[in-house]
Amino acid sequence: MGKKEVMIVNEAVGGGGDGKIQLKKQLGLMNGVGIIVGIIVGSGIFVSPKGVLLEAGSVGLCLTVWALTGLICSVGAICYAELGTCILSSGADYGYILQAYGNLPAFLFLWVCLVVLVPTGNAITALTFANYVLQPVSCKEEGPPQAAVTLLAALCITLLTFINCTNVKWATRVQDIFTCTKIVALVIIIITGLVKMVMGSTENFQNAFEGSTKEPGRFALAFYSGLFSYSGWNYLNFVTEELKEPYKNLPRAIMISLPMVTVIYLLTNVAYFAVLSPAEMLASDAVAVTFADRTLGVMAWVMPVFVACSTFGGLNGAIFTSSRLFFVGARNGHLPGFLATINMNKLTPFPSLLFGCLTSLIMLSSSDIYSLINYASFVEALFIGMSIGGLLILRVTKPELERPIKISLVYPIFYLIVCVFLVITPLTSSPWECLMGLIVIASGIPFYFLGVLWKKKPAGFMIMLRKVTILSQKLFYAAPEEQKEE
């Protein structure tokens, strides 16, 4: 269990090819882009780009919001480039919060990820996947049988966990392949839309700003929806330790991915509007599928397939990155030690992956996970704000840290302002959800005192813990990570 604050400092980039028991540096620039794009472009853009439209009220304002939110996320990502290259541990926000604010806030971040964010996120992505796979055999209105959906979601989570346990290369290849399929799907949508526009289908763009909302509250909600669709842009930072030449590849991956996603999102929305009227978009449960039904004729079936692939890839990325978070947390003594072990043959964080899989399956079997997602976004915004605030704090408290990328303070300050807005908007519009979110965060405090701070636990407990650790080690053939070379 944790004794001292862990100081994670910059380390020289070691080659990944030696035989040490550690997570190897296997991710190149393209893998990095694959992870960011793969996670951001989950199912959202295919399923429900209507949140923005609903609140914005007009096509023009809707597209503007998409562009602006992409820009804002890019600013956030620039901040994460500094954080990620300065604090080179995997686990992203966890590491940054730990450095800037100390143990308790970092533990709480870990806690929230563990009990809500990761399992609900994974469960919902898996359910979306299952729904789309079953689309061809399901009835239009009633949807596929629920039991089959849940089973398929569980199959998907376990299969991906298996792949991630077996081989990092496989996992990244899955990520690359499925990121490609979703880009292909979006390119199909974009090209189809552009063709329709050239053929004169532009009536939805006439007087594009007519009907724009004038209420600041709804404008804020439109923004909030937009930002939510970009969430995931910080996920590459969860795996920095496995990135080859992180100083080069982390910022590059960020700088390639975010403009790419922004452009893709914008064009996809333009394509949607070329074919569907705002009313039809709002009425559709799966905009991309409705779009395909309208335009692709006999090939319309490819769209549910692509959406399924996209969610599959998104889930893979989430499983990959979240296991690293638990791993790092355990390494720092915030979670039981066995979670920080690595299978000696496969060099994958076996126990941590299984742990994530287990929590996701538990969440899957609970009936109302969709209500949890309501406060997940609020909590996420809160912690991202803290991380970026941490950037400023670290500039003051630890000026000596090596910062390969040192950005202008304009960026973090700008993003902090956005975060304040992101946190305050839901506080006024849905205070109950926010309160629940805060309660979930606070519920980690007793666990922190019991699990982390309380050093003199009863001997019996310590022995049992050790036995469990050893059992898991033997079972998974997993040893703790070896220190990297000095």
Partner 1 sequence: MADNGAEKEQIQDPEIGDHELDDSKAKFINGGNSLDDTRVVVSGRASPSTPVFTGLGKDELKKYADDPFWVRLRWILFILFWVGWLAMLVSAIVIIVLAPRCPTRPDLRWYHKDVSYNVYSKSFFDGDKTQDGYGDLEGIKQKQSYFEQLSANTVWLSSILKTSPVDNDRAVVDHKEIDEKFGTVDVLRDFCKKLMKKGKRVIMDLVPNQTSKNHTWFLMSQKKEGKYADYFIWSDAANNWRRKDGSSMWVQDTVRNQYYLSQFDDLPDLNLTNPDVIEEFQKIIQYWAGAGISGFHINDMEMLAENDTLANESERGKETMNFADNAIVIDSLKKIVDGLDNKPGREKLLFGTLTMADIDNIKMYKGQDGMRGLHMAAVMLDQLTVGISAPDLETKLEPFINASSSSWLGWRLTTPMSGTDRVFNRVGEQRMIAAHALQALLPGSSLPYYGDELAMESGVKVDKKTVTPMQWSKEAHAGFTTGTPWLAVNVGYEQKNLDSMTAQLGDNKMMDSFKALNKLRSSESLQFGKTMFCSNGDLLIFARNAEGFESFVVVINLGGATAHMFMGDKCVGERDSAELVFHSHVMERANTQLNLNNAVSIGGDEVLVLKFAA
Give the tokens for residue 326. Answer: 């638990």
Please say which residue, 190 or 478, places its beta carbon nearer to partner 1. Answer: 478
Residues in the interface with partner 1 (CB under 8 A) total 66
What's the burial of 467, exposed, middle or buried (CB within 10 Å: 0-12/13-18/19+)?
Answer: exposed
Q: At 143, is the secondary structure helix, strand, or coil?
A: strand
293, 300, 301, 427: which one binds partner 1 (CB under 8 A): 293
Q: Is 485 in the site for partner 1 (CB under 8 A)?
A: yes
159, 187, 255, 302: which one binds partner 1 (CB under 8 A): 159
Q: Whole-number minimum distance, CB 137 to partner 1, in Å? A: 5
Please say which residue, 316 or 332, places its beta carbon nearer to partner 1. Answer: 332
From residue 15 to residue 54, what is the string marking binding to partner 1 with x (rule CB under 8 A)? ---xxxx---------------------------------
Q: Is 303 in the site for partner 1 (CB under 8 A)?
A: no
Which residues does residue 341 pair with via DSSP β-bridges, in sequence order?
480
Q: At 188, which amino acid appears?
A: I
26, 158, 212, 213: which one binds partner 1 (CB under 8 A): 158
Query: Which listed range, 85-93, 269-277, 375-383, 414-422, lies at the site for partner 1 (CB under 8 A)?
Result: 269-277
- Pairing outcome for strands 341-343 and 478-480: antiparallel
Query: Which listed range, 63-71, 84-92, 233-241, 332-340, lies at the site for partner 1 (CB under 8 A)?
Result: 332-340
- Residue 150 to residue 137: CA distance in whole angstroms: 15
Q: Is 292 in the site for partner 1 (CB under 8 A)?
A: no
Q: Is 409 in the site for partner 1 (CB under 8 A)?
A: no
Cα–Cα nearest to 225, from 60, 77, 425: 425
Q: How crowded is residue 297: how many other Cβ atoms within 10 Å of its Cβ?
A: 8
From residue 181 to residue 220, what is the string marking binding to partner 1 with x (rule CB under 8 A)? --------------------x-----x---x---------
Q: Is 102 in the site for partner 1 (CB under 8 A)?
A: no
From residue 55 to residue 94, what is the string marking binding to partner 1 with x (rule CB under 8 A)? ----------------------------------------
Q: Whole-number minimum distance, CB 141 to partner 1, in Å? A: 8
Which residues does residue 342 pair with via DSSP β-bridges, in sequence order?
479
- Residue 130 to residue 338: CA distance in whole angstroms: 32
Cβ atoms of 377 and 425 within 8 Å: the answer is: no
Q: Is 466 in the site for partner 1 (CB under 8 A)?
A: yes
Nearest 5°: phi and psi at 143? 75, 170
Give the tokens for residue 255. Answer: 């700088």
Q: How crowded is residue 164: how many other Cβ atoms within 10 Å of its Cβ?
A: 26
Q: Whole-number minimum distance, CB 292 to partner 1, in Å? A: 12
Q: Is 398 in the site for partner 1 (CB under 8 A)?
A: no
Q: At 30, which amino acid appears?
A: M
- Residue 59 to residue 51: CA distance in whole angstroms: 12
Q: Whole-number minimum distance, CB 331 to partner 1, in Å? A: 7
- Residue 282 to residue 278: CA distance in whole angstroms: 6
Cα–Cα nearest to 382, from 409, 420, 417: 420
In degrees, rounded to 5, the angle at the alpha carbon of residue 469 between the alpha carbons of residues 466 and 475 is 140
Q: How crowded is residue 243: how many other Cβ atoms within 10 Å of its Cβ?
A: 26
Q: Is 285 in the site for partner 1 (CB under 8 A)?
A: no
Q: Is 474 in the site for partner 1 (CB under 8 A)?
A: yes
Query: Which listed range, 152-160, 253-261, 401-409, 438-446, lies at the site for partner 1 (CB under 8 A)?
Result: 152-160
Cα–Cα nearest to 78, from 387, 382, 401: 387
Q: At 157, which amino acid appears?
A: I
C-alpha dihedral sign at 322, 323, 328, 329: positive
Q: Is 245 in the site for partner 1 (CB under 8 A)?
A: no
Query: Which listed range, 82-90, 135-143, 247-255, 317-325, lies at the site for partner 1 (CB under 8 A)?
Result: 135-143
Residues that bind partner 1 (CB under 8 A): 1-4, 6-7, 18-21, 134, 137-140, 142, 144-145, 147-148, 151-152, 154-155, 158-159, 162, 201, 207, 211, 275-280, 283, 293-294, 331-333, 337-338, 340-341, 344-345, 462, 465-467, 469-470, 472-475, 477-483, 485
